[in-house]
Copies of this chain bind each other. A is one copy, B any other.
Amino acid sequence: MGNTAASMLDDIFAYIDARSENYIRRLIDYARHPAISAQNRGIAEVSGMLVDMLAGLGMVAEAVPTAGHPMVLARYEAGPEMPTILLYGHYDVQPPEPLELWKSPPFEPTIRDGRIWGRGLGDNKGQHFAQILAIEAHLVVSGRLPCNVILLLEGEEEIGSPHIADFVRTHADRLRADLVVTADGGRHQSGLPLILYGVRGVFSFELRARTGSRDAHSGNYGGVMPNAVWKLVHLLASMKTPAGEITIAGLADPVRAATATERAAIARLPDDMPAYMKEAGLTELDAPRDRPLFDRLMFHPTLTINGLHGGYGGPGSKTVLPSEAVAKCDIRLVEAMTVEQVRTCVAEHVKKFAPDVEFVPQGGMQPSRTSMDSPWRAVLREAVVQAQGIEPLELPSRDYSRAHFL
């Protein structure tokens, strides 16, 4: 970073520091206006407020209609030769109910113990409003931004983003960027800032076994009628060994090995698993036992049985021979696995090992992983250091600690 740029940043930080009270007051005012996507409440008002505010900064801003709630889309143009950064956030919030559990009213943000308490402050208004204020401060002090900036604020994140895929496809040209930053999480549970480079994907499926038109009596038909639960037990056992090795042919073929940069980032992560294990009552980690902790979460697919149900489940014993059973499973995908590839591998495995078991593919989400060798990594890290005065932790992929935030 050149001297001029560094000096400019100092001026901007000084400008921001001088206005922190004002910024907090404006954030609180913003958070007084609920946009509750699940209740279709306040959407037009808040999206309109944002468009006005962003247009006031000189950005080209509009609320773009979708089949659901509008997307607030704003653009600052630094020049076609300049890099483009897209900042994603969402202006909708969760419903505040049950109201009786709030110590202060959800839409009258209150400062208590050095924190602002109110609906949406931590998810996601605090984050994207800070970005808007940063853009404002930069523009006021320097008269320009050093790159093109696209700001995309969704109004349906809290109801599962049902229209964002369509929106991105339709408006791909307006969304093209060199870097996408999503500031919609928390810090690492250690308290350190965190840059997350990827998430695991998921593919869910059901296995349904039916061995007859009705249950039978084990004393009369044991050894004669096939047992639907046994069929699933043997099929599942053919998919993963007791030692934890997934044995579905081809499933893990696309998996990329961790890079040296990723390994180095992992080596910096605190291992608070012993505390978690104690809290969760675990006496051992899952097989395979010799796999390093973060490798389990970032570099290997998992095959989880979410549920398996068949036959009698009441008190005592019942000599039933079950004719049907269902297993629900999910596979966590790491780069470069894909939902389609995994679905094909599982389908072929079931067809080979238990062709009479019905394979029912369900929802899926692709995994993502941004290369930590990207030149943008240094920019991001430097931004965090400049803003917070501390080196961030970096996760190649999401780890268990995120459970404390989501």
Pair A293/B224 contact, Cβ less than 8 Å: yes
Pair B312/A306 contact, Cβ less than 8 Å: yes
Pair A307/B297 contact, Cβ less than 8 Å: no
Pair A284/B322 contact, Cβ less than 8 Å: no
Pair B356/A283 contact, Cβ less than 8 Å: yes
Stretch of A117-125, A164-172, A228-236 that contacts chain B = A228-236
Pair B223/A300 contact, Cβ less than 8 Å: yes
A222 to chain B: which residues have CB within 8 Å? 297, 302, 304, 330, 332
Interface assignment of A263: CB less than 8 Å from any CB of chain B: no
Assuming the contacts A319-B330, A400-B221, asked whether A307 and B362 have C-beta atoms less than 8 A apart, the reply is no
Nearest chain-B residue to A316 (Cβ)?
Answer: B362
A283 to chain B: which residues have CB within 8 Å? 356
Interface assignment of A369: CB less than 8 Å from any CB of chain B: no
Interface assignment of A26: CB less than 8 Å from any CB of chain B: no
Looking at the assembled complex, report how far the CB atom of A359 sits from the nearest CB atom of chain B, in whole angstroms. 14
Interface assignment of A105: CB less than 8 Å from any CB of chain B: no
Assuming the contacts A280-B212, A280-B225, asked whether A305 and B311 have C-beta atoms less than 8 A apart, the reply is yes
Pair B302/A223 contact, Cβ less than 8 Å: yes
- How far apart sit A236 and B231, CA to CA, in the bound complex (Å)? 11
Interface centre among A291, A296, A300, A302 (most CB of B within 10 A): A302
Interface assignment of A211: CB less than 8 Å from any CB of chain B: yes
Copies per complex of this chain: 2
Looking at the assembled complex, report how far the CB atom of A351 sits from the nearest CB atom of chain B, in whole angstroms. 15
Pair B302/A306 contact, Cβ less than 8 Å: no
A200-229 CB contacts (< 8 Å) to partner B = 200, 202, 204, 206, 211-214, 216-227, 229
Interface assignment of A286: CB less than 8 Å from any CB of chain B: yes
A144 to chain B: which residues have CB within 8 Å? none
Assuming the contacts A305-B322, A306-B321, A318-B328, asked whether A211 and B312 have C-beta atoms less than 8 A apart, the reply is no
Interface assignment of A320: CB less than 8 Å from any CB of chain B: yes
Pair A219/B237 contact, Cβ less than 8 Å: no
Pair A282/B400 contact, Cβ less than 8 Å: no
Interface assignment of A402: CB less than 8 Å from any CB of chain B: yes
Assuming the contacts A218-B302, A305-B311, A312-B306, asked whether A226 and B287 have C-beta atoms less than 8 A apart, the reply is yes
A241 to chain B: which residues have CB within 8 Å? 234
Pair A398/B356 contact, Cβ less than 8 Å: no
- How far apart sit A107 and B253, CA to CA, in the bound complex (Å)? 73
Pair B214/A400 contact, Cβ less than 8 Å: no
- How far apart sit A318 and B309, CA to CA, in the bound complex (Å)? 14
Pair B273/A317 contact, Cβ less than 8 Å: no
- How far apart sit A52 and B287, CA to CA, in the bound complex (Å)? 71
Pair A219/B310 contact, Cβ less than 8 Å: no
Pair B403/A224 contact, Cβ less than 8 Å: no
Pair B317/A311 contact, Cβ less than 8 Å: no
Looking at the assembled complex, report how far the CB atom of A59 sits from the nearest CB atom of chain B, in whole angstroms. 35
- How far apart sit A214 and B280, CA to CA, in the bound complex (Å)? 7
Pair A306/B316 contact, Cβ less than 8 Å: no
A217 to chain B: which residues have CB within 8 Å? 403
Interface assignment of A78: CB less than 8 Å from any CB of chain B: no
Assuming the contacts A217-B403, A223-B300, A224-B273, asked whether A319 and B204 have C-beta atoms less than 8 A apart, the reply is yes
| Sampled A-B contacts (8; CB under 8 Å) | A202-B218, A206-B317, A212-B281, A216-B403, A220-B402, A226-B287, A227-B286, A308-B310
The 4 closest A-B pairs by CB, nearest first: A213-B281, A307-B311, A237-B237, A222-B302
With A222-B302, A304-B321 given, name 6 new contacts (CB 8 A): A213-B281, A238-B242, A308-B311, A311-B328, A317-B328, A318-B328
